[in-house]
Amino acid sequence: MNHKAIGFLAALALLGACADNNGASTGAATGSGASASGVGGAVPGSQQDLVANVGDRVFFGYDQSTLSSDARATLDRQAQWLQRYPQVTIQEAGNTDERGTEEYNLALGQRRANAARDYLVAQGVSGSRIHTISYGKERPSALGSDEQAYAQNRNAITSVQ
């Protein structure tokens, strides 16, 4: 199963009661579900390891870039994982849902990427290991035009470089 599918399904399971137009609480973190054991064969310190065992993305409320407690929990795990694999560098990509204009959403995506990066740095990860980028509304993870898809797309996604 590819990492996109894992993230999507896991987040879907958690989003049920939280999906909300302006809800600041929609910071539902994706995760590997309850299990901390790796999906068979994921190389430690790899992208697959990050997605399967740590969680590669955090979510935001509409027009927001503040981190919810769920988001911080995911980023805490990412920070610990990054401490364990000091050679790993990452990209933090910020995204938005489609209900905004192109240019403003580029800036909003950057805010989200920065928020995730700044939190990781505050947890002790060196900033030089983190490259940020914004895709605005150009790279939606979830198709569809419903609240579930929108909530999926308001995110900051960590990926191994």
Partner 1 sequence: MNDSLGPLGRRSVLLGAGIAAVPLLARAQSAAGNTQITVDRARTAPIPIAIPSLAGTPLGAQIADVISNDLGRSGLFRPIGAAAQIGANDAGDTPNFQNWKAVGAQALVTGKVEGGGSNVRVEFRLWDVLPGQQIQGTAYTTTSTNWRRIAHIISDVIYERLLGEKGYFDTRIVYVASSGPRVKRIKRLAIMDQDSENNRFLTDGSWLVLTPRFHPTRDQIVYMSYYNNRPRVWTFDLGSGRQTVLGDFDGMTFAPRYAPDGNTIIMSVARGAGSDIVTVGTGGGRPRALTNSGAIDTSPCYSPDGSQIVFNSDRGGDQQLYIMGAGGGSARRISYGKGRYATPVWSPRGDLIAFTRLGAEGFAIGVMRPDGSGERILSESFDVEGPTFCPNGRVLMFFREAAGGAGSRLVSIDITGFNERVVPTPTDASAPAWSPLLA
Is 51 exposed, middle or buried (CB count within 10 Å of its CB: 0-12, 13-18, 19+)? Answer: buried
Q: What is the per-residue burial (b if ≥16 Cβ within 10 Å, else e) of 125-142? A: beeebbebebbbbeebbb
DSSP 8-state symbol, 128: G
Residue closer to partner 1, measured from CB, 27 or 140? 140
Residue closer to partner 1, measured from CB, 46 or 141? 141
The least distance separating partner 1 from the CB of residue 40, rounded to whole angstroms, comes to 26
Residues engaged in binding partner 1 (CB under 8 A): 63, 65, 91, 98-104, 106-108, 110-111, 114, 133-135, 138, 140, 143-145, 149
The least distance separating partner 1 from the CB of residue 24, rounded to whole angstroms, comes to 14
Residue 160 in tokens: 């191994």
Cβ proximity of 84 and 53 under 8 Å:
no
The least distance separating partner 1 from the CB of residue 104, rounded to whole angstroms, comes to 6
State whether the Cα torsion 123-158-31-47 is positive or negative: negative
The least distance separating partner 1 from the CB of residue 86, rounded to whole angstroms, comes to 23
Residue closer to partner 1, measured from CB, 81 or 135? 135
Residue closer to partner 1, measured from CB, 42 or 72? 72
